[in-house]
Amino acid sequence: MTQTTADSNQRLRSLDQFRGYSVAAMFVVNFLSGLAITPHWLKHNNTHFSYADSIMPSFIFACGFAYRMTVLKRIAAGGGRQWRYVTRGLGLILLSMMLYGLNTEVASWGQIASGDYRRMIAEFLKANLWEVLAIIGAVQVLTFPIVSMSTRACVIAFFGLGAIHAALCWSFNYDFVYGRPNWMDATFGGGGKRAWDGGLFGLLAWSQIMVAGMVAHDIVTRSDRRRGVRLLLVAGCLLMLAGYGLSCPTRFYDLDGLTPAEADRVRSSPVIPDPTLGDRRGWRDYLAEPPLVPPPSVDRRAPNYWMMDKRVVTQSFVYFATGWCLALYAIFIAVCDGLGLCLRLFEMFGLNPLAAYIIHHFVNGSIRGIVPKDSPLGWCLVALAASLGVTYLFVRFLESRKLYLRL
C-alpha cells in the first residue's frame, strides 16, 4: 500500500480489522465473564491490567482514529465543523440507556413520591449510566472541541486530561468511585454507591485514549507505512513503560511487616503514599508486578490509586492501555496493510461495529441462558462459537443489504 493521506478515499484495512478484532474480543470476554472456567487474564479486575481490560481501550482508540478521520475529511470537503457529531454522541448515550435500561428498579411509587428519586438520579449519573456505548458517546462529545485541532494540541490534551483526572482522584474521585466517604457526596449525592469503568469523572480518562487514537491517525496518514509502524511501536513501548513506572508506587502500599496502626495509615491515604512505611531493602522492592500478573491480596497490599485500575481508570492504566493500543495497531498495519492478511470475521464486525454490538447483546443473552456458571470447558467453547456464529450471520445479512451502523 502506498502512502495514505487524510483525504484519501482508500479505506485503511488495518483500521477495519483492528476495530473488528476489538469488537470480537469484547464479545468473547463478555460471554465468558462469570464462568468458572474463565482464567483470570480473561476477567476484568481492579488491581492490574489483564487482557480483558485491554479490549475497551482498543475499541475507544479505534473510535478516536475513525472520528478524527471522518471529521477531517468533511472539513477538507468544505463541510466545516458540524454539530452532528455531538448529536451522534448523545444518540449513543440514549441507545445505551435503551439497551441496558437505567440499571435501577423502583419497587413502589412511594420511593418516587418520597423524593428518593433524587438519589436515583445521582446514582444514575454517578455510575449506572456508564456502559461502553454511553462512555463512547459522552467521550465523543467531550473531545469534539479537540478532534479537528493540530496533532500537538491533541498530545497536550492527552496529558492535560490525565493531569485533571489525577487531581480529581486526589481530591475526591478515588473515594467517590469506590463509594467511600468524600466531600463530593454532600454536593452530588449518591454517597456509598460504587461506580464502574470510571463513573462520571472517568470520562476524562477515557477521553485520553480517544485522543490517542486521533494522534495515531495523524501518524499513520502523514507517514509511509514503514515509518508509521515504527513510530507507533516506539510510542507504544514508551507509553507502556511509563504506565508500568506509574504503577510502581503501589509497592508503598505493601502491608507485610506493618503494625495494625501503620497499616491503617497506609489504607487511609490511597492516592498519596507514605514512603517511610514498610521495609524496602533493595531496588526490586520498588518494582510493581508486571502487567497481566495479579498483585498480592488486599490483606497484603492495600488498594490504591497507583494500581492499573479500570474501575477508577487510573493514569497507570491509561498510559499502559494506550501504549498497548498503539503497539498492537502497528502490528495490524504491518500484517493487514503490508502483507494483505485479513480475517473475514474482523472485516465484517469492523465495518458494522454498532450493529454487531447491538446484535451480540441479545444473542449473548439468549445463549448464555443455557450455559451454567459451572459448565465444562467444552460446552463453554461450543456456546461461545454459537454466539459468535449467530452474531456474524446477522451482521453479514445486514452487510448484504448495505445496511451499516458505525460509531
Give one DSSP letter per residue of 55-75, joined into a string. Answer: HHHHHHHHHHHHHHHHHHHHH
Structure confidence at residue 11 (pLDDT): 67
Mean per-residue pLDDT, 177-183? 94
**pLDDT range class, residue 220, cuts 50, 70, 90:** very high
Structure confidence at residue 189 (pLDDT): 82
Bridge partners (DSSP) listed for residue 254: 301
**pLDDT range class, residue 115, cuts 50, 70, 90:** low
Mean per-residue pLDDT, 119-148? 92
Query: DSSP letters of 267-312?
Result: HT-SSS--TTSS---SGGGGPPPPTTS----TTTB---TTS--TTT
In the three-class reduction of DSSP (H, G, I as helix; E, B as strand; rest coil), residue 176 is classed as helix
Q: Count Cβ atoms below 10 Å from residue 38 Cβ, excluding itself.
A: 17
Grid cell, residue 47, equals 488491581
Mean per-residue pLDDT, 88-93? 94
Q: Is the pLDDT of residue 172 over 60?
A: yes
Contact 113, 58 (CB under 8 A): no
Q: Which helix (H) or strand (E) holds 154?
A: helix 151-168
Query: DSSP letters of 71-126?
Result: HHHHHHTT--S-THHHHHHHHHHHHHHHHHTTS-----HHHHHTTTHHHHHHHIII
In the three-class reduction of DSSP (H, G, I as helix; E, B as strand; rest coil), residue 254 is classed as strand
Query: DSSP letters of 301-347?
Result: B---TTS--TTTT-HHHHHHHHHHHHHHHHHHIIIIIIS----HHHH
What φ, ψ does residue 254 adopt, rounded to 5°? -65, 135
Give me the chain's average pLDDT, please. Answer: 91
Contacts (Cβ under 8 Å, ≥6 apart) of 110: none
Nearest CA among 263, 320, 322 for reference residue 288: 320
Bridge partners (DSSP) listed for residue 301: 254
pLDDT digits (tens, 9 = 90+) for 388-403: 999 999 999 999 988 8
Mean per-residue pLDDT, 116-140? 89
Structure confidence at residue 81 (pLDDT): 58
Contact 326, 216 (CB under 8 A): yes
Mean per-residue pLDDT, 6-11? 44
